[in-house]
Amino acid sequence: MAASVESRRFTTVNGVVRFPPMIKPPLPSPNLDDSDSSSSDDEENDYVSTLRALVHKSNAELEPSILDARDDGTSDSWVYRNASMVRLTGKHPFNAEAPLPRLMHHGFITPVPLHYVRNHGPVPKSHWEDWTIEITGLVNKPVRLTMEGLVREFPSREFPVTLVCAGNRRREQNMVRQSIGFNWGSAGVSTSVWRGVPLRHVLRRCGIMSRGKGALHVWFEGEEDLPGGGGSKYGTSIKREVAMDPSRDIILAYMQNGEVLKPDHGYPWRVIMPGFIGGRMVKWLRKIVVSSKECDSHYHYKDNRVLPSHVDAELANEEGWWYKPEYIINELNNSVITTPCHEEILPINSWTTQRPYTFERLCILRRWKESDTCCDNIGQWINLAGVRVEPSRKAKQIWKVLVLVLLVIGGGGA
């Protein structure tokens, strides 16, 4: 279920205003989706309270972000970041994930400073008051919208969404066979409470044309200038029916965990698509184009593809494998056992064999079936429990299993 959260007051942290001072926080918007019309006020209030409590809990034991010395001499030297983030591509650009134990420690909602970051280049310096989004192409009323106009004129939705990088756990893949991607660990996944304007309402206001008139794809283009393809913007696209589907909950987001987006996460606006990989959720959004064709950006075709094992980058370029639609990645099912952690040693003695040990598994975009890990010749697990908030298709799931060490010693397998 998605729900709006009532407005809050925001303060200043590290010199960054948590809500732009030139406008007031938007008031809660009426829910315009038929799918939610039967929800009672009490249910919605409970949902809002639960989200607030989860965000508050996730921010506990979190140190302030800093101007990291590792960014000195780069175009990102002005961006505040958490010093514990594991950097994956050297000094610049910034691509990072949280240490996996820390990600698990903070629970269902990831604190913004620990949310994984995938940047292809420098972080744009953006200003709310002069930022606009152009909507053009196969629409009857092309328009350039201001930030204040988007917030004031359209309803907002707020709900938890899990973002996962298409390269999550690529380090293990590269150990078997080197790919052209860098070594993501298992923490390229994070869940936040996102607030934004439904994309379909914006497209309707602009008069998106019908499929019969060629309106088949919706493009998104970011602000940054990147080297790919000889120089281009970061861009991608989705099908029209996906963009206009109310069950998809695609939003143009401007808040994350109750705060205005941070620079690394797309301030002032980014796309959020529940159920899609992070590579489709364009940050620093500048342009939306309705077209008869897929986006022609270098990054739409040369990123986020899985090709057959016999196809290397050279063959893909020669034979046009990048452009075959069957090899695009839009969704990612992924999971990892987080406890026991890598190289953890479990002592076997009279104390540990009489007490349960907790196995934890982080699952992305799917449920964990008991049959996945059940002990074959011992019987069932002692207990199986998931997170208490139903994450549905929008979020990660953290599962725990308690198993007696004595059962494992006795011959059961996990």
Cα angle 45-1-195, degrees, rounded to a multiple of 5: 80
Active site residue 330: no
> Which pair of tokens denotes residue 41?
């006020």
Q: Which one is catalytic: 82, 95, 165, 249?
A: 165
> Which pair of tokens denotes residue 3?
């729900």
In terms of Cβ atoms closer than 10 Å to its own Cβ (0-12, 13-18, 19+), residue 122 is: middle
Q: What is the DSSP string of 289-333?
A: EEESS----HHHHHSSB---TT--HHHHHHHTGGG-GGGB-----
Active site residue 249: no
The DSSP symbol for 376 reads: T
In terms of Cβ atoms closer than 10 Å to its own Cβ (0-12, 13-18, 19+), residue 38 is: exposed
Q: Which one is catalytic: 71, 76, 264, 303?
A: 303
> Which pair of tokens denotes residue 159?
């709900």
Q: Torsion over CA of 321, 336, 86 and 281, rounded to 10 degrees? A: 50
Q: Which one is catalytic: 249, 304, 334, 363?
A: 304
Active site residue 304: yes
The DSSP symbol for 267 reads: T
Q: Which residues are catalytic?
A: 165, 303-304
